[in-house]
Amino acid sequence: MTERVGIIGGGIVGIAIARALSSRGLADVTVLEKEQRVAAHQTGHNSGVVHAGLYYAPGSLKARLCQRGRVLTRDFCRDRNLPYRELGKLVVALTEGELPALADIESRSVANRVPGLRRLGAAAMREVEPHVAGVAALHSPHTAVVDFVAITEAMADDIRSAGGQILFGHEVVAITPGPGEVRVTTTHTDFAFDRLIVCAGLQSDVVAGLAGASPAPKILPFRGEYWGLSAAKQHFVRGMIYPVPDPRFPFLGVHFTRGVYDTIHVGPNAVPALAREGYGWNKVSFKDTAASIMWPGALALARKHWRMGAKEIAASLVKPLYFQQARRFIPELHMDDLTAKTAAGVRAQAWSLDGSLLDDFAIERVGPVTLLRNAPSPAATSAMAIADYVLEHHHVPRK
């Protein structure tokens, strides 16, 4: 008898795992998604970058699965005739003081076997991006952009074709592991599975709690806001222009991305969201905010990052401050070149009891339940590789 596997979460990671199981005939798969479509949250609220692996600690899950995921994503897009554009990325050192950090990224990139990586001086980097400022850069020519929603929808079609099902509007409210099976209660009905895999993104700690797992790590939602670039200045960005990230903070900083459909995104920033699914300042959940404030690591996190947090919040609320961050990289920009905010996403960043932010992917198992506890960027890039990893290392049934 084929084992019954439930997947909680219809983002790109949950759908990739469900596809891997169903297409290989390894299980009878049911995906439970509380929204009315796949890719409703993190998957559908980002700039669509397929990362090449520049930043991640060598040997980490992020480094290993990003590289494999990039190749799998590229091949999937080519097979399905989905857009995949290798526009390339420049990581730019604006000053001499940023050169040591740039060298550290270069050493990580070499260890991670980032394809085609080049170190460029000021003149050479302006051959790639003619309007960029700075003293040196790393060029990753194979960093690409895609439509992650279209990829997720195509994988969802594969699941259905293989006999699996994806049920929308099924918010999970209870999980009861028992002898020989796991019972899952949603807002509509009950299910019985032999195994359960939780890929709940912004709600991953909440759902983990339903399964009896530790409350740590907890999800701390960070909103990233994007501005558009005026039509008159679209040609100022050929591909992607990124800053040298602050190693003390798990975010990359404001950058420029030409999307797969040629829209230029400026951002994102990183501000604490006042709700797990809070895509604007007007979305407030007192329950979510109170839970973050009362977390044991909250004070330690605030002490460590309050200056950066204040700077990001100020730039979110005051356009000239956001503009100043962007203009450092393209000095020819004017304030009115930043058009209205085009979108926002919320990153599900896990943090520990001591206030530290988890840097790597985190996957754990509680009996028959496998939990993805931390899967921020580059999880979309890595989704198909994460699926293979879960099947190989977390006791998901094989035929």
Mean pLDDT, each 10-residue run in order, the chain (399 residues):
93 98 94 97 94 95 97 98 98 96 96 97 97 98 98 98 97 92 96 97 96 93 90 95 80 87 90 87 86 82 77 84 93 93 85 88 94 95 98 64
- Are 273 and 137 in the same domain? no
Res 7: pLDDT = 98
- Are 276 and 304 in the same domain? yes
Report the 10 Å Cβ neighbour count for 127.
9
- Are 181 and 268 in the same domain? no
Res 251: pLDDT = 67
- Are 208 and 308 in the same domain? no
Residue 180 lies in a domain: yes
Which domain covers residue 120, as residue numbers?
Answer: 89-141
Residue 255 lies in a domain: yes
Number of domains making up the chain: 3
Res 398: pLDDT = 41
- Looking up tokens 């980490």, which residue turns up? 60
Residue type, 150: A
Residue 42 lies in a domain: yes
- Are 245 and 365 in the same domain? no
- Are 32 and 163 in the same domain? yes
Residue 247 lies in a domain: yes
Residue 262 lies in a domain: yes
Give the pLDDT confidence of 143-159 residue by residue, as tens digits: 999 999 999 999 999 99
- Are 194 and 257 in the same domain? no
- Are 133 and 177 in the same domain? no
Pair of tokens at residue 127: 């051959």
- Provide φ and ψ at 85, rounded to 5°: -120, 115
Domain holding 303: CATH number?
Answer: 3.30.9
Q: pTM value?
A: 0.95
Residue 68 lies in a domain: no
- Are 14 and 161 in the same domain? yes
- Are 237 and 325 in the same domain? yes
Res 306: pLDDT = 67
Residue 399 lies in a domain: no
- Are 345 and 377 in the same domain? no
- Are 101 and 167 in the same domain? no
Res 248: pLDDT = 66
Domain holding 377: CATH number?
Answer: 3.50.50.60
